[in-house]
Structure 1
């Protein structure tokens, strides 16, 4: 639904320009004070500042039929809003005009990647329950453009509410067809992109260095030109969470997998948003972390139940069970026993990352998690198996 409005206040990105950004400065008077505002061909900044804009435009609700959301989201048709918290959830929409903004809020703190016409523009930080207008991109060429906005941090830290899209006067939203391929990834911090933008293993976790788009799952999906959904949470196992003192943890991934939200509600997910062509499971590192561990029967039993659940919801979709690159001997043994137990299901496949490919000095980020360099190596080792299982052709590496 289209509504007319006058922009009396918007949010304008300023700050340090990233590589490739070009800008110039202009002094503008705000409330009796002069401030320097940086204007650019395309906005490549990571902080925001309110400014006044004397012009008219159009606003479109977040639930507009032209907008596609990929992942688990809650739509409020009456309010016209869309809410989600799972890492990697993204929206895609085309638009006409020279710029696009949006009205957005967050119950905590979330970072989002902004892509225009398939190119990464910048990351934005969204925080605060009061909806705010953010100018995503400006000074574009006239004509049709595509926006993709991806939540690249975990639901533990924030739940995003998309309220509306803002376009200049005469601008329109247009639909973007969904991709023909769809992959669902079920995982933990390795799938979430924990520490992918850190370059030192001894760095502590910081939300601003988590970026799922630089983790193996998104890299692999991008390679095959597939849409994707991440059902992942750092520190969680299929039955036991990291460092827990019990063998069966509350809030493990077996429980969370059935939820519409990762952290902000326990309402059941109806499994109607999409049907994947492939499911990739990468769980087990946290199950066998320090303090205590589940028995082999507990871990394998939970894994078999998850596979059965996938069969109920998705039918005979191929499933790839990945042995984590940081596997312990106990975990490796359990996964071999699992393989024997599900041997009659010919559409369940098993994969291992190539050994010794992660070098500590180059490939590890925060808290000894793979950074972008390490994640690319992990993705490259899975690509041949995905190609073989799915019959998808290999292409020239595009990262």
Structure 2
């Protein structure tokens, strides 16, 4: 390529523009002349012209400048105020939405959002409400508005129309804007009537950039983040404590830098919604999956061909369990068949997506084997681009949301696990940050009976580790309680647990690779009859298989030791 010839063309375009905005600062004629000389080789390299901030002045800077001229054309012309519809020409939609005959765009599902960049001196948006604004306050749609990542509005819709100022001033600026529906589709939608901008730019409103990875989340109240901001499990439902941005779904998409879409309804299931007795066929996700929303105003067919997904996550079964538990043995086949049918529906709408199935955060894990069976049925008849895993049951130590729903901590932990599963499915590298490596570790006790040591142990449903020492043997190492079979990757970790013993005792503690003398962490726990908490950080320099957390409990006779809430989380 003749770089000077190409540069001359670009420079002629630049010279023709008397002014433009670059990262918020106007470019003068002197700047343009200087860039022209740098490109022509007449002046030495000046990194102030490094528009793509990569440390070099090259062809990519020319492209960057061209894009500024074309897309951010604040050329010093007349500032005018114009209104723009929330259409795909101007905004990027996340999640399912519907545009009515008046060109109002309705953000229907949990997390449905509009994202765009505004160039101008001032801007505002007009929000619209549907019939749900006349309902009880606790059922009104909740939404949020962000400008450059800063929250400027977080409200329940209580009027049919509301105008919100995004920014105002005398100096032109660029701002990234996001409007997001925080509550769920059961309680109405959030409309965007128009975007008003005062600007001299030829393109004052442009859509946010599409991301490479697109994930769809299908679920129930857990996916909706029902009650995630409630003060306790005793709080009743309210849209004011439902916040999709704290859902495992949103957090997973954020971690993987993905665009997302959600289809989630509280109380819904695959063959039965939540019930106290009879089967609930009024609350089934398969019946509304093909539509933008379930409410009559939004029951429009969703365009799957236009909105393709790379991954589809199905987190259903918790509400089905409320029905199945009454006669699990005789109802199991109905669930397996219904789940398999739904998988086939999802595959027909997402022919190229990897499907990941899970459940278990709120219990009901007794039906997880039925999901495994449905996945195997589907795999044998269709394809192998599908996997499933059992989500960890929420822990009391992490708190609860309204009506015993997952807390913010539980939602975040679920997101770390799911992000890792998606990386595994797609062959992407996972940093493993946030994962609890003790979650699936093997809990066991090693007893040196030759020394006379004797002990019994029990692992509770919540992974509490109870050890009863009868005879302690001769050394502390004669009885070792351990959490093992953990494969650690290099990085920084935090080990935490609660503990108590029936006597005052120093307990040697290690984190190490099985069979190795060297330790990643070596410490002593001072225990007595009261419950205490332990927390310590350490570093693993290189990946290692078959690692273990070891508590040395031997030497003393006739006492109990209990370790609970054991976590080994990678923090960086």
Q: TM-score range by the shorter chain?
A: 0.7 to 0.9
| Among 157, 164, 174, the residue aligned to 2:187 | 157
1:53-202 equivalent positions in 2, closer than 5 A: 57-63=81-87, 65-76=89-100, 79-107=102-130, 108=132, 109-129=140-160, 131-138=161-168, 142-170=172-200, 172-202=204-234
Which protein is bigger by CA-based radius of gyration?
2
Q: Quote the residue 1:287 is aligned against.
A: 320
Task: Report the CA distance shift for 1:157/1:248 in structure 2 as closer, same or farther (over 3 A).
Answer: closer
2-structure distance, mates of 1:120, 1:397? 27
Q: Decide whether the 8 Å contact of 2:124 with 2:196 is kept in 1.
A: yes
Q: Decide whether the 8 Å contact of 1:202 with 1:367 is kept in 2.
A: yes
Following TM superposition, by how much is the alpha carbon of 1:147 offset from its aligned partner in structure 2, in angstroms? 0.7
2-structure distance, mates of 1:84, 1:244? 32
| Among 359, 364, 372, the residue aligned to 2:408 | 372
Q: Aligned to 1:65, what secondary structure does the other structure show?
A: coil
Following TM superposition, by how much is the alpha carbon of 1:311 offset from its aligned partner in structure 2, in angstroms? 1.9
Q: Decide whether the 8 Å contact of 2:121 with 2:168 is kept in 1.
A: yes
1:1-399 equivalent positions in 2, closer than 5 A: 57-63=81-87, 65-76=89-100, 79-107=102-130, 108=132, 109-129=140-160, 131-138=161-168, 142-170=172-200, 172-243=204-275, 245-247=277-279, 249-265=281-297, 266-289=299-322, 295-344=331-380, 345-354=383-392, 358-395=394-431
Q: Decide whether the 8 Å contact of 2:272 with 2:279 is kept in 1.
A: yes
Query: Which structure shows the bigger proportion of residues in helix conformation?
Result: 2
2-structure distance, mates of 1:333, 1:396? 26
Runs of 4+ in 1 over 6 A off after TM superposition: none
Q: Figure out how many residues of one structure are paired with residues of the other and give that number.
A: 341
Task: Report the CA distance shift for 1:396/1:59 in structure 2 as closer, same or farther (over 3 A).
Answer: farther
Q: Decide whether the 8 Å contact of 2:343 with 2:378 is kept in 1.
A: no
What CA deviation, in whole Å up to 9, does each residue of 1:28-55 have, x standing for no partner?
xxxxxxxxxxxxxxxxxxxxxxxxxxx9
Following TM superposition, by how much is the alpha carbon of 1:143 offset from its aligned partner in structure 2, in angstroms? 2.0
Following TM superposition, by how much is the alpha carbon of 1:234 offset from its aligned partner in structure 2, in angstroms? 0.6
- Which one is further off, 191-200 or 244-253? 244-253
Q: Aligned to 1:286, what secondary structure does the other structure show?
A: helix
Q: Quote the residue 2:34 is aligned against.
A: none
Q: Decide whether the 8 Å contact of 2:117 with 2:175 is kept in 1.
A: yes
- Which one is further off, 250-259 or 59-68? 59-68
Q: Aligned to 2:376, what secondary structure does the other structure show?
A: helix
Task: Report the CA distance shift for 1:135/1:311 in structure 2 as closer, same or farther (over 3 A).
Answer: same
Task: Report the CA distance shift for 1:143/1:311 in structure 2 as closer, same or farther (over 3 A).
Answer: same
Following TM superposition, by how much is the alpha carbon of 1:139 offset from its aligned partner in structure 2, in angstroms? 5.8
- Which one is further off, 58-67 or 376-385? 58-67
- Which one is further off, 158-167 or 322-331? 322-331
TM-score (norm 1): 0.78
Following TM superposition, by how much is the alpha carbon of 1:216 offset from its aligned partner in structure 2, in angstroms? 0.4
Q: Decide whether the 8 Å contact of 1:354 with 1:381 is kept in 2.
A: no
1-structure distance, mates of 2:172, 2:430? 36
Structure 1: segments with no counterpart, 5+ residues:
1-54
2-structure distance, mates of 1:140, 1:253? 50
Following TM superposition, by how much is the alpha carbon of 1:245 offset from its aligned partner in structure 2, in angstroms? 4.2
2-structure distance, mates of 1:329, 1:261? 29
1-structure distance, mates of 2:170, 2:422? 37
Q: Quote the residue 1:30 is aligned against.
A: none
Structure 2: segments with no counterpart, 5+ residues:
1-78, 133-139, 435-570
Q: Which has the higher contact order (CA 8 A, sep 6+)?
A: 1
- Which one is further off, 138-147 or 82-91? 138-147
TM-score (norm 2): 0.56
What CA deviation, in whole Å up to 9, does each residue of 1:280-302 have, x standing for no partner?
00000001116857821221112
